[in-house]
Amino acid sequence: MNPLLTPFDTAPFSKIKNEHFKPAFLQAIEDARAEIDAITVNTAAPTFENTIEALEFSGQQLDRVSSVFFNLNSAETNEEIQKIAQEVSPLLSEFSNDITLNEALFKRIKSVYEQKDQLDLTVEQDTLLDKKYKSFSRNGANLPEDKKQRLREIDTELSKLKLKFGENVLAETNSFEMHLTDENDLDGLPEGEKEAAAQMAKSKNKEGWLVTLDYPSYIPFMKYAKNRELRKKLFLAFGSKAFHNNEFDNQENVLMIANLRHERAVLLGYPSHAHFVLEERMAETPDKVYVFLNELLVKAKPAAEREYKQLEDFAKELDGIDQLQKWDGSYYAEKLKQKLFDLDDEKLKPYFKLENVIAGVFKVAEKLFGLHFTEVFDIDTYHDEVKTYRVTDDKNNLVSLFYADFHPRAGKRGGAWMTSFKPQYVKDGENIRPHISNVCNFTRSTPSKPSLLTFNEVTTLFHEFGHGLHGMLANTTYPSLSGTSVYWDFVELPSQIMENWCYEKEALELFATHYETGETIPMELISKIKESATFHEGMATLRQLSFGFLDMSWHGADPSNIKDVKAHETKAFDGTQLYPDTIETCMSTAFSHIFQGGYSSGYYSYKWAEVLDADAFAYFKEKGIFNKEVATKFKEHVLSKGGTEKPMVLYKRFRGAEPKVEALLKRAGLL
């Protein structure tokens, strides 16, 4: 019996074998098709219930199978799973097109849409109807047959290219390792980092130390290693992923993805892919995005140039460095930060034992939103490192199940993300609760030390947990409007606002205790964390803006004249670059956010959401960071509402006004 085709509540990971996936996809697609057919052959006149709701709740089995499979492909993949992904992605793309381009179905939807003013719908029903109609009209339902056919071809091709892009980045990440046998090469590295590198070498049956391109290995080396040549070697390897003219090269994939996206947009009547995407975003148009990015650029650039000059002078004074290079940035910034604030990660890490930080983020969620997390051991997981929690409210009602997976592995892509195995929705009077997961890549414990997080990793954990709360606290009727199913430039608000608590004394005192002595983090360290929060904020802002400009350069205009990926990128970065360019590296070929993930024409939204989060947190600061009234408003008007209404409507209901960019500039020290 195929475990994926038997009804399940929690994903039955231990029972699933790779050979179960493809038959499960095929069967679930067939069942979903039958559900669609039942809607289109219905002889009754189209109504909201028999058409829009019926469509909304169709294909649930397929959604579950997909979420289990694609989450594994991100967090615990292997060659076999990647091969299955290449086989099933075109099938899913084709099925999705079959629905969108189904004329009988669209006719029924259109019929309901045209009489919506007479239907007396709730706000959420109205949003769902609007979203369903647009998902058809924006994806080709009104096109003539030949153009529909071309749309199908483009979508199938894109689904394969995006997967291939991601596989190449993972392969390149895994294929590089810097094997060191002379301990002097590790000069400057803290003991814990050396130990982790030794452990990595041992795990691969090698003598000495191994440094890889995974963040927990790469970042500390770039930050602390004195050996400039080795930093350069590592930086160039990291920056040139999928840019080697080998079998894993992504240059051709980048050009094909950009051109196919543009062709698709034009086919649908839009000037560019960005015009198509932004129609369903708070930003609305590419022009508004450019105005937004440029407004921040004007404010951040003078600060960034001052910071860069200060860093140059410091490196010259310290080590006689004549020309600061990209592989010097983290190293000298860390040294300068220590000099200015007497603060480095090694002083902070002992206070951030992973287990304590997890307990801390749970405590913050309890104080703000009345949530309680209990670790449970009877839920099936895909790897023995995954922890599972039952999340309840003050009345012991189940709110959510929560999965947490915190360490790097060969089968896991880099970075950190939130995802779900089951959405929240209401059906037949029952509120079905969600199953939410956070996946990160933090340093593992070693024989002598537990997993100790850098402060940056602490904020990452809080960030992803914010996305998690958005999923866990969802309280809507329809799954496609639930949790994080919101406009893309709104989705980062719940995650980014959570990072603010990491800088507050009241919150830090809940969990930042020394892993050996149990001493609470001293006030002077908290003050230094706050003081140093805006350290190099100008340069950090410029870096984020450069990614936003690069994204828009690929998607905001016709890319067909772009022949050279690197040359195009260099031009896009013009105006945001401080360091000399390195010809060996290329960002685009490993820019997974926009070429594999969902951030194409949307990278600006990190900064956009920072404006929202700075403005929202200013409200908490004004009333108290654990103020129940403000927290309840945030929970009721933002976290629980998903995509049921326009984001600005929800935001204004919480805050009483539109957000002001000044809040961000003030917090960043850029005013």
- At 346 the pLDDT is 86
Distance CA(164)–CA(162), nearest Å, equals 5
Query: What string of DSSP letters covers 163-219?
Result: HHHHHHHHHHHHH-EEEE--GGGGTT--HHHHHHHHHHHHHTT-SSEEEESSHHHHH
Of 447, 421, 446, 443, give the one whose Cα is nearest residue 434.
Answer: 421
Distance of CA 477 to the CA centre of its chain: 25
Distance CA(262)–CA(212), nearest Å, equals 36
Helices 228-239, 215-224: axis angle to 10 degrees equals: 140
Q: What is the pLDDT of residues 267-294, one digit of tens each?
A: 999 999 999 999 999 999 999 999 999 9
- Percent of the chain surpassing pLDDT 70: 100
What pairs with residue 513 in β-bridges?
A: 520
Residues 286 and 402 in one domain: no
What is the average per-residue pLDDT within 642-663?
94
* Residues found in the chain: 671
- Any domain includes 62: yes
- At 661 the pLDDT is 87
Query: What string of DSSP letters covers 55-68?
Result: HHTTTHHHHHHHHH
Rounded-to-10 torsion of CA 327, 328, 331, 336: -150
Distance CA(657)–CA(416), nearest Å, equals 32
State which of 533, 554, 569 marks the end of a domain: 533
- Any domain includes 188: yes
Residues 404 and 258 in one domain: no
Task: From residue 317, give the alpha-carbon distance in Å to each of 310, 311, 336, 593.
Answer: 11, 10, 11, 38
- At 635 the pLDDT is 98
- Any domain includes 25: yes
Residues 230 and 281 in one domain: no
What is the average per-residue pLDDT within 536-546?
97
Residues 519 and 395 in one domain: yes
Of 355, 346, 337, give the one whose Cα is nearest residue 511.
Answer: 355
Query: What string of DSSP letters covers 137-157?
Result: HTTTTTS-HHHHHHHHHHHHH
Distance CA(189)–CA(105), nearest Å, equals 62
Distance of CA 230 to the CA centre of its chain: 30
Distance CA(112)–CA(565), nearest Å, equals 46
Question: Where would I find the H helices in 388-491?
Answer: 455-472
Residue 414 has pLDDT above 90, yes or no: no
Residues 336 and 449 in one domain: no
Q: Position of tokens 């959604």?
A: 63
- Any domain includes 659: no
- Any domain includes 640: no
State which of 482, 514, 533 marks the end of a domain: 533
Residues 283 and 223 in one domain: no
Q: What is the pLDDT of residues 352-384, one digit of tens each?
A: 999 999 999 999 999 999 999 999 999 999 999
- Any domain includes 364: yes
- Element at 271 (helix H, strand E): none
Q: What is the pLDDT of residues 101-141, one digit of tens each?
A: 899 999 999 999 999 999 999 999 999 999 999 999 998 99
- How many degrees, rounded to 5, is the angle at CA 644 between CA 638 and CA 650? 35
Of 639, 631, 612, give the one whose Cα is nearest residue 470.
Answer: 639
- Any domain includes 661: no
Distance CA(559)–CA(261), nearest Å, equals 10
Output the furthest CA–CA distance in the chain (Å, rounded).
82
Q: What is the pLDDT of residues 23-68, one digit of tens each?
A: 999 999 999 999 999 999 999 999 999 999 999 999 999 999 999 9
Residue 344 has pLDDT above 90, yes or no: no
Count of domains observed in the chain: 4
CATH number at residue 303: 1.10.1370.10
Residue 345 has pLDDT above 90, yes or no: no
Rounded-to-10 torsion of CA 593, 597, 598, 601: 40
218 by Cβ neighbours in 10 Å (0-12 / 13-18 / 19+) ranks as buried
Q: Domain range holding 414?
A: 350-533
State which of 602, 629, 654 marks the end of a domain: 602
Residue 18 has pLDDT above 90, yes or no: yes
Residue 671 has pLDDT above 90, yes or no: no
- At 488 the pLDDT is 87
Residues 593 and 475 in one domain: no
Distance CA(168)–CA(376), nearest Å, equals 37
Residues 281 and 368 in one domain: no
Rounded-to-10 torsion of CA 361, 364, 369, 372: 60
Residues 265 and 231 in one domain: no
- At 648 the pLDDT is 94
pTM, entire model? 0.87
Residue 105 near residue 99, CB atoms below 8 Å:
yes
Residues 508 and 560 in one domain: no
- At 446 the pLDDT is 87
CATH number at residue 70: 1.20.1050.40
Distance CA(647)–CA(4), nearest Å, equals 35
Residue 579 near residue 233, CB atoms below 8 Å:
no
Residue type, 495: S
Residues 513 and 375 in one domain: yes
- Tell me, yes or no, if 280 is annotated catalytic: no
Residues 389 and 269 in one domain: no
- Any domain includes 626: no
Looking at 56, 167, 464, 537, which residue is catalytic? 464
Exposure pattern of 601-616 as b/e (b: 16+ CB <10 Å)?
Answer: bbbbbbbbbbbbbbbb
Number of C-beta neighbours around residue 179 at 10 A: 14
